[in-house]
Structure 1
Amino acid sequence: MSEINKKYSRITDVPKDAFANQRINNNYLLINEIGRGTFGLVYKAKDLSNPLSAKENFFAIKMMIVPNVKSENDKLREQEMRDEIKKYSTQIFNPRVVKIQDYLQWENYLLIVMEYVDGQSLQKMLWEKDGMLTFEEIIYYFSEIAYGLQGVHDMNMVHRDIKPGNILLTKERQIKITDFGISHVKGLVYDGGNIQKTKKPSSPGTPRYASPEEYIKSGSASDDKNSFQSDIYSLGVMLYEATTGSEIIKINNPKLFRPTEDADRKKREAFLLDQTLVAEFLAPSLLNPTINKDLELIIMKCLERNLANRYRTANEVAEDLKKVGRGEKVNIKKTKNEPYKTESIKKLENDNKKFEKFNKKFINKIVVPVIIGIFVIAILLLFVLLW
């Protein structure tokens, strides 16, 4: 059986380069796999639509396994999704954003055809530099990323998965924001194997980079807690890690990143809820004493849990970074960045207080008298024996 006829249910089951040299509707030739993530594979592909062209045109094609689409209603939702992708692909002209060229279905895969970037990801650059960038690199790359992010927001899109692996760098040092997969287009998500149209995304993006508000569970399916400021928080996490060389959230148990059981999912949710919403972040200067103080202020403002204190636009982040790069001061007031108080956290705190109160009463009224009684009896017994 050929690889294209195998019905894989998970991306991790697909062998590397399984589709190399496959033709897609005589329009594209898949050359080799250049990346993969939780939701899809990415192939370098050749454009076959213009064989007479002297210049070889390449694209990057993201392949995602088709969910269980069976009913006419599901097919209609898939078509709506196709129209939504096309709508955004024709409107994004920002040079800092990877352009979406086409969207199609092939065999049992959904394909997004994108601009091919001949370079490396910011993630790879960080790996090569032991997780830290120089001051000059921080100012240049992150101001460019912020400007690109503003271009995404100007199209009324929330990326929802801003992270180093989704920032590409060309050989000319130009940044390109990528990975506008279907799950990242606001209002269209996968749920239970089918395509669902909703205003509320099903889950946060990559856990380590997700904003606090993305973890708040609301009772209303139409209550969308994601905003442009959610992407700015993710930008702040990247800045924090690139200046300190330390992960802002450390998950020691790898199973918590990709839960295999319900128990693992509950542990991950509890851990992330605590780390993202409640735990205090160490100031970057405690991990990197040489950090520019104004740059530190920018990072902590991006990481504000309270949206009112966080940057409102990505352009503001870029402009402040440019100021710091020129040696100017930024007008940012330090805040305490108070823990994010959600109903679930308040309930947990109340339950803890009730438990502590019960324990105190239990100890004072039962445990202490019992211990005293045992002690008295022991003394009496000792007295009798010695007598």
Structure 2
Amino acid sequence: VQLPSPSPGFFSLRVAKPGPLRPPLVAALEKHGHRVAADAGSAVLARNKVTQPLARDRLEALADDLGASHVVLYQVSASGGDARLRLVAFDRRSGMAHEVTGTAPGARGLVGWNTTTLPLLGAIVLALLLVAGYFILRGRSGIVVEITLDPDGSEEAICVEVSASPQRPAIDDPPRWRKETRKAGHEVKGKSARLVGPRTTFRVPPGTWYAHVYGVYVRDHADRVVPPIHTRKIDVARGKTAVAQVDLGMPVAEVQIAIHDTRRGGIAVWLDNDLADKVYTDADGRATLYATVGPHTLVIDPGDMRFEKPLPIAAAQIKKLNVNLVRERRLAEVSDGLTLGPAEHAPAIEPNAQPLPTAATQAMPSDSIPAGAATISDEEPEVGARVLGRYRIDAELGRGAMGVVFKAWDENLERTVAVKILARSVREIPQAMTLFLSEAKALAQLNHPNIVAVHDQATDERDTYIIMEFVDGTTVDRLLQERGGKLPLRTALGVIDQLCSGLAYAHGKKVVHRDIKPANIFVSRDKVVKLGDFGIARVLREIEIRQTDVRGTPLYMAPEQINGTNINHRADLYALGCTLFELVSGRPPFLDGNVMAHHLFTEAQPLSAFEPSVPPALDELVAACLVKDSAERIATATDIQARIRAIGAALPR
């Protein structure tokens, strides 16, 4: 009868395996003339209440139950890699029991590895190694902030906060804040320090950090707030200590701005191109900026225009400036000091993202921007702000007639998206708004790798939003600018090939783009071509009815679009032909004079007139796309794609 082996400890690496002991025991007993019955199971032991320590009456009951004259009980336990054996022989007739114990060193088969504990212990060891490796690889990086106090200051309450965000800690009531901070006393905790000395050290992982030196001190009998220019952006290398030096006594001028306008609060004000230091006026139209000695440019953006004014700073003193925007608007027609309409920033470039910069997904290009159309609301979202409760704004990508496009992080689905906030000019025109929302619903049904996807459309109490796929790449328009105005023939054919795939899919869904041109074609980093801005031309038409000052020329517009009659998918094929013409030759078919009239009445010159090296088949394809009568024009994007591929296959390798 096998007695249960003692239970091993939780962290025991070895366990007993008694099975291999039975055959030699049976052989030894049979050798001495005993007839051995089969092993009794654990149920027999339980039925006869045989427990440790062994009792005579229980052994007798066990023998009677089994009908045996003798009972041999054996037990195996693990002792490291050795087996500890226990044998008990009970004679039912005499009622005597004999017990022997011993150890079998290195007994093979009687002791094995504990397969329950080993994986757990392995996981624990691996986790410890990973943690240790993380700290070893991270190194002991740090930031040392060295502060020189203003020699004319006193009663300083200076603090430091090291953060991954460029946003500085706010100080609402400087006199009260200074008194409460000084009363709280010195403290260094994590990545912040209160009432710091000349040198403070912080331990941080490698990466980009902002060391914010902020606080209040008394100078000339007045409380002076430490200006934002004393924030330092620091790149910390692994295992290195970076030093940020801040001189509170450096010559810094305080620029007090008072703006007079029909709406005074919430007007954006900043210096030079440093949008990180952008501030907004209070309800009285007042804002304060800080500037070092030297030339600067003051920028004021109330929403419908952008005012730029030279601002030389000659000394570290308080400089007061009054700006009357009502008067400046009246002078705008004869003054070069105003930039009417939105600021046309180039799309943001991702760090370390060569060779393709980030495309401003769905941002309207400047050749169709009505003046002032990029105003979205009284207060634009800033970097770090959240819209619709889930999209964190990371950067502005671009502005156009339809609104402003931001790069954002979807905190629910954990992905990067493009968030377009519609311009006020769209929201204030009911026909344009209705048309746009219907277009957005249709576009949301399009799901194709060569079309910029529309994920969602939403509205809150202030703005209307379109959530789109974020294209990490560039536009074909920018590729043309970077590469001398045209693309290699094989590259141009590849772009049009992928465009045809997206257009064929959209046309199959009864969706017409209406505004195909290089600025609306995106190329991702993995060389996928995507078509954006579907249906935008129809909305812009509603805006143009009310805003006559529209810049740019319709370089890619089909004749039926100019006439406004019988517009179908073949208008896109005409624009596709114009785009192909420009990609190969470096210019659209019509560039000089009355371009609209040329599209209506003038036959385009052959592509080979500008690029003699093109094959005749490509000349014929472009001509088929540029037929004036849409009914006689090439029929489908699939037809264009087939001919493009045939031309590409015939090109010399």
1:127 aligns with 2:481: yes
Q: Which residue of 2 aligns with 1:301?
A: 624
Q: Which residue of 2 aligns with 1:138?
A: 492
SS in 2 for 1:209: coil
Report the Cα offset of residue 65 of structure 1.
1.4
SS in 2 for 1:95: coil
Report the Cα offset of residue 251 of structure 1.
4.9
Report the Cα offset of residue 128 of structure 1.
1.5
SS in 1 for 2:560: helix
Q: Which residue of 1 aligns with 2:382?
A: 20
Q: Report percent identity of matched pairs.
A: 26
Q: 1:161-205 deviations in whole A, cap 9, x for unaligned?
A: 11111111111111111113655479x9557569xxxxxxxx9x9
SS in 2 for 1:123: helix
1:66 aligns with 2:430: no
Q: Is the 8 A contact 1:7 1:108 kept in 2?
A: no
CA distance in 2, matches of 1:215, 1:125: 28
Amino acid across the alignment from 1:320: R
Q: 1:208-238 deviations in whole A, cap 9, x for unaligned?
A: 1110111115xxxxxx421100000000001
Q: Is the 8 A contact 1:102 1:112 kept in 2?
A: yes
Q: Which residue of 2 aligns with 1:175?
A: 529
1:47 aligns with 2:410: yes
Q: Is the 8 A contact 1:158 1:185 kept in 2?
A: no
Q: 1:324-366 deviations in whole A, cap 9, x for unaligned?
A: 11129xxxxxxxxxxxxxxxxxxxxxxxxxxxxxxxxxxxxxx
Name the CA shift for 1:80/1:35 in 2 (closer, same or farther; >3 Å): closer
TM-score by length of 2: 0.40
Amino acid across the alignment from 2:601: V
Structure 1 residues 1-387: aligned runs within 5 Å: 1-2=265-266, 8-9=303-304, 12-13=341-342, 19-21=381-383, 22-50=385-413, 56-67=414-425, 74=430, 78=433, 82=437, 84-89=439-444, 91-106=445-460, 108-180=462-534, 183-184=537-538, 189-190=542-543, 207-216=554-563, 224-251=565-592, 271-327=594-650
SS in 1 for 2:596: helix
Structural RMSD (CA) = 3.3
Report the Cα offset of residue 47 of structure 1.
0.8
CA distance in 2, matches of 1:41, 1:153: 28
Report the Cα offset of residue 150 of structure 1.
1.1
Amino acid across the alignment from 1:49: N
Q: 1:263-315 deviations in whole A, cap 9, x for unaligned?
A: xxxxxxxx233221122322111111111111111111111112233111111
Report the Cα offset of residue 108 of structure 1.
4.7
CA distance in 1, matches of 2:304, 2:526: 38
27-36 or 313-322, which deviates more: 27-36
Report the Cα offset of residue 70 of structure 1.
7.5
User: In the comparison of the two structures, how many residue pairs are matched?
Assistant: 285
SS in 1 for 2:632: coil
Report the Cα offset of residue 9 of structure 1.
4.9
Name the CA shift for 1:153/1:58 in 2 (closer, same or farther; >3 Å): same
Name the CA shift for 1:131/1:190 in 2 (closer, same or farther; >3 Å): same
Q: Is the 8 A contact 1:88 1:155 kept in 2?
A: no
Q: Is the 8 A contact 2:514 2:536 kept in 1?
A: no
Report the Cα offset of residue 109 of structure 1.
3.7
Name the CA shift for 1:68/1:88 in 2 (closer, same or farther; >3 Å): closer
Q: Is the 8 A contact 2:497 2:641 kept in 1?
A: yes
Report the Cα offset of residue 82 of structure 1.
3.3
CA distance in 1, matches of 2:426, 2:403: 16
Report the Cα offset of residue 206 of structure 1.
6.4
Q: 1:39-91 deviations in whole A, cap 9, x for unaligned?
A: 322211111225xxxxx5111122221348689xx59x9578535523430x2
Q: 1:230-273 deviations in whole A, cap 9, x for unaligned?
A: 00000000111111112322257xxxxxxxxxxxxxxxxxx233
Amino acid across the alignment from 1:25: L
Report the Cα offset of residue 35 of structure 1.
2.4
Name the CA shift for 1:189/1:25 in 2 (closer, same or farther; >3 Å): same
Please state which structure has a larger fraction of its residues in strand: 2
SS in 2 for 1:101: strand
Amino acid across the alignment from 1:47: D
SS in 2 for 1:236: helix
Name the CA shift for 1:8/1:183 in 2 (closer, same or farther; >3 Å): farther
CA distance in 1, matches of 2:534, 2:570: 18
Q: Is the 8 A contact 1:158 1:184 kept in 2?
A: no
Segments of structure 2 that go 5 or more residues without pairing to the other structure are 1-264, 269-279, 281-300, 306-339, 349-379
- Which of these two proteins has the greater Rg computed from alpha carbons? 2
Amino acid across the alignment from 1:26: G
Name the CA shift for 1:87/1:231 in 2 (closer, same or farther; >3 Å): closer
SS in 2 for 1:208: coil
Report the Cα offset of residue 28 of structure 1.
0.9
CA distance in 2, matches of 1:142, 1:70: 37
CA distance in 2, matches of 1:94, 1:166: 16
CA distance in 2, matches of 1:274, 1:140: 31
Amino acid across the alignment from 1:247: P
Q: Is the 8 A contact 1:157 1:185 kept in 2?
A: no
Q: Is the 8 A contact 1:97 1:148 kept in 2?
A: yes
Amino acid across the alignment from 2:623: M
Q: Which residue of 2 aligns with 1:374?
A: none
Q: Is the 8 A contact 1:34 1:42 kept in 2?
A: yes
Amino acid across the alignment from 1:246: R
